[in-house]
Amino acid sequence: MHWRASDAPWVLADVGDNPGGGGGNTVDLLKALLAAQAQGVLLAVFTDPALAQEAHALGGGAAFEAHFNRTEQLPFAQTFKHAAKVLALSDGHFVGRRGLLHGSPSSMGLSALLEMGGVRVVVISLRQQLVDPAQLDALGIDLASVRTLVAKSRGHYRAALEGFTLTERMIDVDGPGLTTPNLKSLPWTRMPRPVHPMDEDTQGSWSATVDV
């Protein structure tokens, strides 16, 4: 597809919360977009088996209070509640179309598409990154309807979303999470200091000693 730069959609990659590295459950970016009353947003994919199962039990079209992370105990995974509507349900099975999963059958487990104002959230049961557009196909999502896509992924989203937007509109967001590339933001407790790259006064010296 071809766009003028001002018309192209955005991708906000929540790289600090990459499910491929043990994350997948921070709600900070979701809360910020809801607070800003953002429109045309899709967040994919959020791993929360309990929430996906509840959506399936309620059925398509049901309105309810979505409770994120009620059972998840991951660091940085805060609980969060918000009014939601069940837009679509799926068993989560898909066949990859691009990148790592091209031509391979895979599954997200029980999955649901929830609507919360101008933000839609893909909730899945089996932890994984947004790695293939077929994950969205499974819930009937038309990417043409998405103005801003929030990807829970560190880098594989780029192959998955080739052609969705311009490269310069793919932004890595400096948010909290286990997989953040911003090492200065993590609460280090056993690391000798100063050490590169957290401290500016290391003058190129490197230490291999770690107190465990």
Report angle CA 57, 65, 145 to the nearest 5 degrees: 85
Domain chopping of the chain, boundaries? 10-180, 182-212
The residue to which tokens 């999955």 are assigned: 111
pLDDT at 212: 44
pTM given for the model: 0.86
Gap between the Cα atoms of 187 and 191, Å rounded: 10
Classify residue 55 by burial, with Cβ atoms within 10 Å: 0-12, 13-18, 19+.
buried
pLDDT of 125-150, one tens digit each?
Answer: 999 999 999 999 999 999 999 999 99
Query: What pLDDT does residue 10 have?
Result: 95
The residues, ordered by sequence, that sit 6+ positions from 113 with a Cβ below 8 Å of its Cβ are: 86, 87, 88, 89, 120, 121, 122, 123, 139, 140, 141
Q: CA–CA separation, 58 vs 35, rounded Å?
A: 26
Residue reference for tokens 């959020």: 46
User: What are the tens digits of pLDDT across the range 32-69?
Assistant: 999 999 999 999 999 999 999 999 999 999 999 999 99
Amino acid 84: pLDDT: 98
